[in-house]
Amino acid sequence: MANILTSRSENYSQWYNDLVTKADLAENSAVRGCMVIKPYGYAIWEKMQQTLDKMFKDTGHYNAYFPLFIPKSFFSKEASHVEGFAKECAVVTHYRLKNDPNGKGIVVDEDAKLEEELIVRPTSETIIWNTYKNWIQSYRDLPILLNQWANVVRWEMRTRLFLRTTEFLWQEGHTAHATATEAVAEARQMLDVYAEFAEKWLAIPVIKGRKSDSERFAGAVDTYTIEGLMQDGKALQCGTSHFLGQNFAKAFDVTFDNKEGKIEYVWATSWGVSTRLMGALIMSHSDDKGLVIPPKLAPIQVVIIPIYKKESELNEISEKIAPIIAKLKQKNISVKFDSADNQTPGWKFSEYEFRGVPVRLAVGPRDLKNNTIEIARRDTLTKQTISQDDIENVVENLLVEIQENIFQKAKTFRENNTRKVETYDEFKQVLDEKGGFILAHWDESAETESQIKEETKATIRCIPLDSVDEEGKCIISGKPSKRRVLFARAY
């Protein structure tokens, strides 16, 4: 077996890197920090895209496409945005190469220098709001509810496949509204869409919340987030939705005549999830034997492996299996029949287990006689021999059960790893010995937040939307606090 993984307990980080590359999800490219997303990884991303795209359209959004390049000056227009975004980025300065006069390959043609440098988009608020300026005159032009699927570039110093790469794929929604109320409702709606997607498709339980001032998106009034807990006890931000107020409208002078005939700045939101979700998916469910993929996102949901010695046995099995495959496909279940003769059944069992295929069926000569089939599930690694009759319904129900089980397992893990603490000592002890989510009182000051971050590397993941009012004292300053907030070390 080539697919030996470092165990999670031994080195979680190494386990993750091994798994991503050995399961053919992605690999590092020749370009620093940029990844190649391999077909198996991309197939999972495509399923995520299709699902989200439908959810966006069902909530009234349309797709569009805006330029990859943004003029440098655009970033200076929104004061806090430039601080947060325009620094570590790819800068295009020239538009032509030429043959090296000394005959050594090609060199940049210094005569082809751009008057104004172009930035490869790290996010598209600026170019989009510069465009919206021409689209919006009256309240009748609102709302604008757009999304784009695109690549973005942020020059990260330390990169990890899917989790933090220089180039990544994402979607970014950008909406324009006539009122603050409507824009806030939009930002909250999209947070709910993300949470539903995370829980029902990715099978990752998430905490919905608001970011603290210092963790907010550069240019936002409020940033909402969904936070997941990975198996190593670290948090991962799975998606964010921002209420941008009138910040970008003011920066790009986007006004409209409201219903009362008065000129007003437009209200905005933006929201995004990225290929980072691939990292979340892997780190939430997979184990020392390889990937565990929730059935709803698995490129192959069922693999069927024939056990045979003679060609005639394979023929008999294939004949018996054909109608089962047809019935599974009719139920929109993606099924692969692997009858390749250059690998043993044992090798195949191990391979599909490693690749996280949720259900495995195996059929041998004895099964033919007995009208039976072996059915194995990836999530529990259990198997049993059952009748071939009605197998398509058994599989269909099992896929639902596996999806639910994977989610429940992750939820139980999170519950077992979410702890309330009352003192800073307790906070540090839990963090170092157990990790996970910590609910603690905080005095709402940036100083306290920054001290905790500096001393423990834990950050406020969010102020949970469902947090209950509770009088308490800040674990650092002892000042009064009205509710607990969620801390964790994070990716």
Q: Determine which residue in the list 17, 51, 151, 350 makes contact with its own copies, applying CB under 8 A.
A: 151
Could you say which residues in the range 164-183 bind its own copies, by CB under 8 A?
Answer: 167, 169
**Beta carbons of 349 and 306 less than 8 angstroms apart:** no
To the nearest whole angstrom, how small is the minimum distance from the Cβ of residue 62 to its own copies?
A: 4
**Beta carbons of 272 and 171 less than 8 angstroms apart:** yes
Region for residue 327 given its phi and psi (left: phi exceeds 0; alpha: psi -120 to 50; beta: otherwise): alpha
Q: Which of 66/491 has CB closer to its own copies?
A: 66
How many residues make contact with its own copies (CB under 8 A)? 60
To the nearest whole angstrom, how small is the minimum distance from the Cβ of residue 41 to its own copies?
A: 8
Q: Which of 114/439 has CB closer to its own copies?
A: 114
Q: Determine which residue in the list 64, 381, 400, 446 makes contact with its own copies, applying CB under 8 A.
A: 64
Q: Which of 68/463 has CB closer to its own copies?
A: 68
To the nearest whole angstrom, how small is the minimum distance from the Cβ of residue 113 to its own copies?
A: 10
With binding defined as CB under 8 A, does residue 347 bind its own copies?
A: no
To the nearest whole angstrom, how small is the minimum distance from the Cβ of residue 162 to its own copies?
A: 12
Binding mask 20-49 for its own copies (x = CB under 8 A): ---------xxx--xxxxxx--xx--x---
Q: Which of 227/351 has CB closer to its own copies?
A: 351
DSSP letter at 159 equals -
Residues with Cβ within 8 Å of residue 237, at least 6 apart in sequence: 225, 226, 227, 461, 490, 491
The token pair at 23 is 């399961």
3-state secondary structure of 286: coil
> Which residues of 275-401 form beta strands (DSSP E)?
302-306, 335-337, 359-363, 372-377, 383-387
Q: Determine which residue in the list 44, 52, 142, 150 makes contact with its own copies, applying CB under 8 A.
A: 150
With binding defined as CB under 8 A, does residue 282 bind its own copies?
A: no
To the nearest whole angstrom, how small is the minimum distance from the Cβ of residue 42 to its own copies?
A: 5
The arrangement of strands across the sheet holding 302-306 comes to: 335-337, 302-306, 359-363, 372-377, 383-387
To the nearest whole angstrom, how small is the minimum distance from the Cβ of residue 55 to its own copies?
A: 16
* Residue in 246, 238, 243 with CA at minimum distance from that of residue 272: 238
To the nearest whole angstrom, how small is the minimum distance from the Cβ of residue 67 to its own copies?
A: 4
- For residue 377, the cross-strand partners are 359
**Beta carbons of 440 and 431 less than 8 angstroms apart:** no
Q: Which of 180/340 has CB closer to its own copies?
A: 340
Burial class (CB in 10 A: 0-12, 13-18, 19+), 195: buried
What does the angle CA 24 – CA 25 – CA 31 come to, to the nearest 5 degrees? Answer: 100
To the nearest whole angstrom, how small is the minimum distance from the Cβ of residue 158 to its own copies?
A: 14
Q: Determine which residue in the list 15, 16, 47, 72 makes contact with its own copies, applying CB under 8 A.
A: 72
Q: Determine which residue in the list 3, 17, 18, 68 makes contact with its own copies, applying CB under 8 A.
A: 68
Q: Which of 162/243 has CB closer to its own copies?
A: 162
Contacts 24+ apart (CB under 8 A), 254-262: 254/129, 254/132, 254/133, 254/136, 254/176, 255/136, 256/136, 256/137, 256/138, 256/139, 256/141, 256/142, 256/178, 257/137, 257/138, 257/139, 258/139, 258/178, 259/139, 259/178
Spell out the alpha helix ranges (H) of 102-144: 125-135
Could you say which residues in the range 74-133 bind its own copies, by CB under 8 A?
Answer: 74-76, 82, 86-98, 105-106, 108, 117-120, 127, 130-131
Find the helix or strand (DSSP H, E) in which 144 lies.
Answer: strand 144-153
The Cα 177–Cα 168 span in angstroms is 28
With binding defined as CB under 8 A, does residue 140 bind its own copies?
A: yes
Per CB under 8 A, which region of 150-158, 301-309, 328-336, 345-353 contacts its own copies? 150-158
Burial class (CB in 10 A: 0-12, 13-18, 19+), 312: exposed
Q: Could you count the other beta carbons within 10 Å of the beta carbon of residue 180?
A: 13
To the nearest whole angstrom, how small is the minimum distance from the Cβ of residue 362 to its own copies?
A: 24
Q: Which of 326/400 has CB closer to its own copies?
A: 326
Binding mask 315-344 for its own copies (x = CB under 8 A): ---------------------------x--
To the nearest whole angstrom, how small is the minimum distance from the Cβ of residue 151 to its own copies?
A: 6
To the nearest whole angstrom, how small is the minimum distance from the Cβ of residue 343 to its own copies?
A: 11
Per CB under 8 A, which region of 59-67, 215-223, 387-395, 462-470 contacts its own copies? 59-67
* Residue in 282, 280, 203, 232 with CA at minimum distance from that of residue 21: 282
Contacts with its own copies by CB under 8 A lie at: 29-31, 34-39, 42-43, 46, 62-76, 82, 86-98, 105-106, 108, 117-120, 127, 130-131, 140, 146, 150-151, 153, 155, 167, 169, 342
